């Protein structure tokens, strides 16, 4: 397949909204014992559950290292396709490509630079060489050409698009000094406009409190339900450090308009009560130099916003929290045409993300 040095904007390709029709979904099998407790066995069960849920609605592929191939094949259902691909960790939203389409239905990939959320400064694992190759490799697997974004570092979870010219990011992440310190904010915005083919970038100041793995990815904080309409991670508890972050984002978004000049409708999606790592959970994680440790008492960035939108469904993480029901109720209202599928996802959160972080959609092109 071809490596393209031009840009999607130049060639008339755009990144569709996640809520648009998919050709399928990718997931990467979790395995590293210095991030996933108890040899990743509890996480593997939950990833398999997520895969089986998605398989009910659209084609899904799980990518897996050679040494876990047979185990993964045996743990997921027969509708799931299992394909070998070397990886360092299982965040395909961030290490994988973003896909773009044109009006003729041709699909291409954007292969971003990846440095494990901060490289040698604040990266959360080392090395990340296999993960940096995933963008190009998944493009080949899909048999599509890919745009080479060169050394521009970007995780897919740090952007959302409405498919109609608007992208949304957090300044906390995109301006972090361990991503693209050689670029100004304007230069970064230009890159987003070129590679996502958007006219406007909304810069939410910060992500969810406690999201130190990713420096506050937007995909845990705010998501487009459809053009002109977002959900925002919320709390009414003024004693919670999340409060000022939610208020700040609400105020910012309330005053902004999108690329089409629309005011945004903002739906508040209340977070679960603070979730902290237990002693037992912490002790299940191997200590490895260069990997972010998971310590007892650390607060994880629990948020319902980290859901995945697919063909006819939403895969929503739940936590056994009283707010689970509220989240389900709100999403049922916001997604009338889709089944709300819940997965008890504490294990994914313990690893540093949630359902949106572990999935990557391929938009539907012609003939797919």
Residues forming the active site: 357
CB 20 within 8 A of CB 160: no
Q: Which stretch binds a second copy (CB under 8 A): 78-86, 159-167, 252-260, 264-272?
A: 78-86
Q: Which stretch binds a second copy (CB under 8 A): 74-82, 222-230, 252-260, 297-305?
A: 74-82
CB 61 within 8 A of CB 25: yes
Q: Which of 81, 226, 262, 299 binds a second copy (CB under 8 A)?
A: 81
Q: Which is nearer to a second copy, 141 or 340 (CB)?
A: 141
State the nearest-atom distance from the C-beta of 149 to a second copy, in Å: 17
State the nearest-atom distance from the C-beta of 32 to a second copy, in Å: 16
Interacting positions 347-366 with a second copy (CB under 8 A): none
Q: In what order do the strands lie in the sheet with 3-4?
A: 3-4, 146-153, 107-113, 98-101
Bridge partners, 339 (sequence order): 313
Q: Which is nearer to a second copy, 78 or 261 (CB)?
A: 78
Is 69 near a second copy (CB under 8 A)? yes
Q: Which of 82, 198, 343, 350 binds a second copy (CB under 8 A)?
A: 82
CB 161 within 8 A of CB 224: yes
Query: Which residues, at least 6 apart from 28, have a Cβ–Cβ distance to it below 8 Å?
Result: 62, 63, 64, 85, 87, 89, 90, 91, 92, 95, 96, 134, 358
Interacting positions 126-155 with a second copy (CB under 8 A): 130, 133, 136-137, 140-141, 143, 145
Please, is 273 exposed, middle or buried when counting C-beta atoms within 10 Å of its C-beta (0-12, 13-18, 19+)? middle
Round to the nearest angstrom and report the end-to-end CA distance of the chain.
18
Q: Which stretch binds a second copy (CB under 8 A): 73-81, 102-110, 168-176, 235-243?
A: 73-81
Is 294 near a second copy (CB under 8 A)? no
């Amino acid at each position: 397949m071809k490596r393209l040095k031009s840009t999607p904007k130049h060639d008339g390709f755009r990144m569709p909204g996640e809520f648009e029709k998919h050709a399928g979904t990718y997931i990467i099998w979790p395995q590293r014992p210095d991030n996933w407790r108890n040899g990743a066995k509890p996480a593997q069960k939950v990833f398999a559950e997520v895969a089986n849920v998605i398989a009910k609605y659209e084609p899904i592929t799980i990518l897996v290292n050679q040494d876990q191939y047979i185990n993964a094949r045996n743990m997921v259902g027969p509708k799931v396709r299992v394909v070998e691909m070397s990886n360092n960790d299982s965040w395909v939203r961030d290490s994988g490509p973003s896909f773009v389409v044109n009006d003729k239905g041709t699909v291409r990939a954007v292969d971003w630079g990846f440095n494990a959320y901060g490289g040698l400064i604040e990266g959360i694992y080392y090395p990340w060489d296999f993960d940096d190759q995933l963008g190009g490799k998944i493009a080949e697997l899909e048999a599509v050409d890919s745009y080479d974004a060169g050394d521009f570092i970007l995780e897919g979870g740090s952007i959302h698009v409405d498919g109609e010219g608007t992208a949304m990011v957090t300044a906390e992440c995109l301006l972090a000094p361990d991503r693209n310190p050689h670029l100004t904010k304007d230069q970064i915005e230009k890159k987003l406009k070129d590679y996502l083919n958007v006219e406007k970038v909304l810069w939410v100041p910060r992500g969810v409190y406690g999201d130190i793995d990713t420096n506050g990815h937007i995909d845990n904080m705010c998501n487009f339900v459809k053009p002109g309409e977002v959900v925002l991670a919320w709390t009414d508890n003024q004693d919670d450090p999340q409060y000022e972050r939610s208020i700040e984002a609400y105020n910012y978004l309330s005053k902004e308009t999108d690329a089409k000049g629309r005011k945004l409708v903002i739906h508040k999606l209340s977070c679960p009560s603070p979730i902290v790592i237990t002693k037992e959970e912490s002790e299940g994680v191997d200590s490895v130099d260069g990997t972010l440790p998971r310590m007892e008492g650390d607060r994880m960035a629990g948020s319902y916003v980290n859901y995945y939108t697919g063909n006819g469904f939403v895969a929503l993480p739940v936590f056994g929290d009283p707010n689970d029901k509220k989240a389900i109720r709100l999403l049922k209202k916001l997604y009338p045409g889709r089944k709300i599928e819940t997965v008890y996802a504490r294990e994914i959160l313990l690893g540093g993300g949630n359902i949106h972080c572990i999935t990557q959609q391929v938009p539907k092109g012609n003939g797919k």
